[in-house]
Chains A and B, each alone.
Chain A
Amino acid sequence: MAEKEVTLMKGNEAIAHAAIRCGCDGYFGYPITPQSEVLETLAAEKPWETTGMVVLQAESEVASINMVYGGAASGKKVMTSSSSPGISLMQEGISYMAGAELPALIVNVSRGGPGLGTIQPSQADYFQTVKGGGHGDYRLITLAPASVQEMADFVDLAFELAFRYRNPAMILSDGAIGQMMEKVVLPPFKPRRTEEEIAKECPWATTGRIGMRKPNIITSLELRSEEMEQNNLRIQAKYRIIEKEEVRYEDYMTEDAEYLIVAFGSAARIAKKVIAIAREQGIKVGLLRPITLWPFPYERIGQLGKQVKGILSLEINAGQMVEDIRLAVNCSVPVEWYGRLGGIIPEPEEVVDQIKKMLI
């Protein structure tokens, strides 16, 4: 596939192509709907014959995430992908990676839960992703793509952030973005880093003790409480920097907005249609789309809270992000939630009706 070519593909396929192109060293995963095309596309593309990227179907999600841990510990650019129940299985590994300060990419193309749930789209993994699905005081850098193009673009960005802060990063998508096909321009090819480059860029990694340097130990275990508190404080200080530096969001028709929708991912796409319909009826609605779910755009939503008469949190779940929006506006304006559950996606007209009912 030539560079800069506009093509049509599914969000899941875009993830796979982008991974190969951004110099990913390894993918470890286990199939699950609605994200199986990630592994399928990688298997079809055979990157091990071209870039040398390893692609492995592990025996389970637990195995996948621990393979990612191992690859990341040696400074490699490694990733996995799964969908909600599979991501739940990975939570221990994700917490360990956050504790051991390892960079990696985890893609969640989420589906309706709880439990085995349904294979249809859902955003019900918001809490799990941004409030810590695993144990301990940790955070996941979380990017929420709203298009196939962003599925492609966020792979490289997620790796970049993960390595900059030595922390796992997640792309939180859903079955709608994963399964739909749209135009996409794939990122340019970047070579995989050489062993020397990895040793230089990741001096913490277990790359072999060249020149008898001090051994690097990758672990989240520290039995001395005083030391463990210091580890936690160091990690927390890093999180404060991420919260300051890495907030990303999209403002859409907010300049003159009297009402605001806050929505991410596929819900934000629906919101844009809602805004078009509402504005035809003379209701000035705007959208604030968090692109990073953590760090969350509290400050920008707080500013908009002073401008608008009401906020609707449009989520394809039972109302999870609504809590963060309320924190952001600190009760200065009513914040309502609307969404559908179990794999049903709200339709634009029904959301317009809800805005009229709840906010106006």
Chain B
Amino acid sequence: MTHEIIISGFGGQGVLSMGKILAYSGLMEDKEVTWMPAYGPEQRGGTANVTVIVSDEPVSSPILSSYDTAIVLNQPSLEKFESKVKPGGTLIYDGYGINTPPTRKDIDVYRIDAMDKAAEMNMIKVFNMIVLGGFLKVHPIVSIEGVLKALRKTLPERHHHLIPMNEEAIRLGMEIIRKM
């Protein structure tokens, strides 16, 4: 199994940390992982994207031209990455950030209204974990337990009380994602 993912959105949406948690979760389950950010002069509101590869074999190129899954959280990201999803692959988008929905018919398109739900439930800080939950519902490449283990490992102890809220967000994402 090799799953090649691009996560893309605005700076500040938690794109890079979502990728990091996914990669760390893969590590917790003894998989090979690569996390490759499109780094730049970082700023809130700028563009941010990260490639995450989770595999049972050593990862070759961290730079890819096509992806098994694209998770896009704003319109520019959709425009950039819709065409780069492999035929038969998956595209997940957040309804709040997308005005013109994807049009491809040869891929599976999912919508997750994570931003709206996060605002409604006062969970903006874990918006990215709602999205991650949605992705893991579609492609359970790592388990929720793996993600929680990764959070325990990566979060400083003083933030461990936030882990249940993250778990809740993942489970919420799993509920609200829907196939288009």
Q: For the complex, what is the distance from the CA of A271 to the CA of B27, rounded to whole Å?
A: 24
Q: How large is the interface on B (under 10, 10 to 19, 20 to 34, 35 or more residues)?
A: 20 to 34
B163 lies within 8 A of chain A by Cβ: no
B39/A179 in contact, CB under 8 A: yes
- 9-residue interface stretch from B28-36, B91-99, B106-114: B28-36
B89 to chain A: closest CB distance in Å?
Answer: 15
B76 lies within 8 A of chain A by Cβ: no
B38 to chain A: closest CB distance in Å?
Answer: 9
A7 to chain B: closest CB distance in Å?
Answer: 8
B59 lies within 8 A of chain A by Cβ: yes
Contacts of B24 in A (CB 8 A): 8
The residue that A349 contacts in the complex, of B32, B37, B65, with Cβ under 8 A, is B65
Interface string of B34-67 (1 = CB under 8 A from A): 1111011100000000000000000111111110
Question: Which residues 182-214 of A sit at the B interface, judged by CB distance below 8 A?
Answer: 182-183
Question: Which residues 7-28 of B sit at the A interface, judged by CB distance below 8 A?
Answer: 20, 23-24, 27
A350/B65 in contact, CB under 8 A: yes
Q: Which residue of B lies closest to A252 (CB)?
A: B60
Say whether, besides A183-B27, A349-B65, A350-B65, A272 and B60 are in contact (CB < 8 Å).
yes
Most buried by A among B20, B61, B62, B66: B61
The residue that B62 contacts in the complex, of A6, A8, A33, A180, with Cβ under 8 A, is A180
B65/A348 in contact, CB under 8 A: yes
Contacts of A270 in B (CB 8 A): 60-61, 63
A181/B23 in contact, CB under 8 A: yes
The residue that B35 contacts in the complex, of A175, A181, A271, A350, with Cβ under 8 A, is A181
Q: For the complex, what is the distance from the CA of A180 to the CA of B64, rounded to whole Å?
A: 14
Say whether, besides A181-B20, A347-B64, A8 and B27 are in contact (CB < 8 Å).
yes
Q: How many residue pairs at the A-B interface have CB separations less than 8 Å?
A: 69
Q: For the complex, what is the distance from the CA of A274 to the CA of B60, rounded to whole Å?
A: 9
B60/A8 in contact, CB under 8 A: no
Contacts of B37 in A (CB 8 A): 179-180
Q: For the complex, what is the distance from the CA of A8 to the CA of B31, rounded to whole Å?
A: 12
A273/B61 in contact, CB under 8 A: yes
Q: Which residue of B lies closest to A148 (CB)?
A: B34
Q: For the complex, what is the distance from the CA of A274 to the CA of B64, rounded to whole Å?
A: 10
B65/A181 in contact, CB under 8 A: no
A42 to chain B: closest CB distance in Å?
Answer: 19
Interface string of A119-161 (1 = CB under 8 A from B): 1100000000000000000000000000000000000000000
Q: Which residue of A lies closest to B20 (CB)?
A: A181
Say whether, besides A8-B23, A8-B24, A182-B34, A175 and B64 are in contact (CB < 8 Å).
no
B6 to chain A: closest CB distance in Å?
Answer: 12
A176 lies within 8 A of chain B by Cβ: yes
A266 lies within 8 A of chain B by Cβ: yes
Contacts of A346 in B (CB 8 A): 63
B60/A182 in contact, CB under 8 A: no
A137 to chain B: closest CB distance in Å?
Answer: 37
Q: For the complex, what is the distance from the CA of A59 to the CA of B65, rounded to whole Å?
A: 41
The residue that A176 contacts in the complex, of B33, B40, B63, with Cβ under 8 A, is B63
Q: For the complex, what is the distance from the CA of A347 to the CA of B35, rounded to whole Å?
A: 16
Q: For the complex, what is the distance from the CA of A198 to the CA of B39, rounded to whole Å?
A: 41
A176/B62 in contact, CB under 8 A: yes
A183/B32 in contact, CB under 8 A: yes
Q: For the complex, what is the distance from the CA of A288 to the CA of B64, rounded to whole Å?
A: 21
A85 to chain B: closest CB distance in Å?
Answer: 16
The residue that A348 contacts in the complex, of B20, B27, B39, B61, with Cβ under 8 A, is B61
A276 lies within 8 A of chain B by Cβ: yes
A165 to chain B: closest CB distance in Å?
Answer: 32
Q: A181-B20, A272-B60 are in contact. List 7 more A-B contacts (CB 8 A).
A: A175-B39, A179-B36, A180-B35, A180-B37, A266-B62, A269-B62, A348-B61
B residues apposed to A, CB below 8 Å: 20, 23-24, 27, 32-37, 39-41, 59-66
The 7 closest A-B CB pairs, nearest first, are A273-B61, A347-B65, A272-B60, A181-B35, A273-B60, A180-B36, A270-B61
Name 20 A/B residue pairs within 8 A (Cβ), A-sorted. A7-B27, A33-B39, A34-B39, A175-B39, A176-B36, A176-B62, A180-B36, A181-B34, A182-B34, A266-B63, A269-B62, A270-B61, A272-B61, A273-B60, A274-B61, A346-B63, A348-B65, A349-B65, A349-B66, A350-B65
